[in-house]
Amino acid sequence: MLVNYSSSEDEESDGGRKRRRSGDEAEEAACSKRGKPGTRNDQTGDLKKQPSRTNESGTTCQGSPHILPVPTSILEMFQEDSVEQAYSHSSRHGGRIRSFRHERGNWATYVYLPYLAESDFEELADRLISAAGAHGISLTRMADFHISLSQTVVLRHHWIEPFVLSLKEALAPFSRFLCVADRLNVYANQEKTRTFLGLEVTLGQDELVHLVGAVDKTLEAFRLATFYQDPSFHVSLAWCVGDYKERLEGLCAQLQGIVHDSEDGGELTRLWAEDIRCKSGNKVFSFQLH
């Protein structure tokens, strides 16, 4: 009996139409495996390329419509403008405004004498804030308490290590001493964008002046701004946005009475200077006094 083989052409069957793979279909499958997808023209039997597409990154691509473009958020995540906006938005910092423009690689740096306040001192600050609020001045308590020994300056990241080493050497000769800050005073920053209520130092000023002289030498070596000519050393208690210096000064006599009433033998306003600290960005360096 002879066997009848079907040809390479399409043929009909009871279940419907079935085909053997033609040469063009084999070529189409091979093209797909090579990463060059094509489509078959039903009328001519020829293969044709899919049209090119351009994604959001500007790259021309061919083939599958399922390739997703790179999200805009990824393309823009390292742009300088977005970093600047994140740091400059005053609403994210309680309304505070930067005194200098943020740039990548710049670290805001300052030197200070820390005051590790106990709950009684915080309660004193809260009483003063409440009294000022009764006169329409809304103050915010400081996140931490300290006496500044420098202005806030800008350090490049690669300067931090040599700056800290220079500061350590400059502060090495100094010994511990006692400060007393018990006189209420009002301060404002140079731009008049923030006002501070603080306790001015009445004992330990000479030692602080000598410390500032040592810190200034390091600042000068790095060509940075030194401290103020006639500094008023103080512990800031609270602050507000705007220039409220005159209004708070008018309340000082009343607020000073709250300080005197709160003191327990003067202990609240005593500060032992045992270490000097330098904060640069999110890094804090401590220098122990002997």
Q: What pLDDT is stored for residue 2 in this prediction? A: 44
CA atoms within a 13 Å half-sphere pointing along the CA-CB vector of 107: 17
- pLDDT band for position 91 (cuts 50, 70, 90): very low
Beta bridge partners of 179: 271
Residue 45 has pLDDT above 80, yes or no: no
Spatial separation of the C-alpha atoms in residues 256 and 183, rounded to whole Å: 7
Q: What pLDDT is stored for residue 118 in this prediction? A: 87
Inter-residue contact 273 to 216 (CB < 8 Å): no
Q: What pLDDT is stored for residue 182 in this prediction? A: 94
The domain limits of the chain are 22-69, 107-288
- Which phi and psi angles does 136 have, rounded to 5°? 80, 15
Q: What pLDDT is stored for residue 282 in this prediction? A: 93
Q: What pLDDT is stored for residue 93 in this prediction? A: 47
More confidently predicted of 82 and 95: 95
Residue 176 has pLDDT above 50, yes or no: yes
Q: What pLDDT is stored for residue 19 in this prediction? A: 44
Active site residues: 146, 234
- pLDDT band for position 12 (cuts 50, 70, 90): very low
Residue 121 has pLDDT above 80, yes or no: yes
Inter-residue contact 225 to 219 (CB < 8 Å): yes
Residue 44 has pLDDT above 50, yes or no: no
Q: What pLDDT is stored for residue 81 in this prediction? A: 42
Q: What pLDDT is stored for residue 226 in this prediction? A: 97
Residue 88 has pLDDT above 90, yes or no: no
Q: What pLDDT is stored for residue 253 in this prediction? A: 94
Spatial separation of the C-alpha atoms in residues 287 and 153, rounded to whole Å: 19
pLDDT tens, position by position, 125-173 = 999 999 999 999 999 999 999 999 999 999 999 999 999 999 999 999 9
Pick the CATH number of 107-288 from 3.40.1160.10, 3.40.50.620, 3.20.20.150, 3.90.1140.10: 3.90.1140.10
Q: What is the CA radius of gyration of the chain?
A: 36
Orientation of helix 252-262 relative to helix 119-133, angle to 10°: 150
Lowest mean pLDDT among 113-122, 214-223, 259-268: 259-268
More confidently predicted of 64 and 72: 72
Spatial separation of the C-alpha atoms in residues 230 and 202, rounded to whole Å: 15
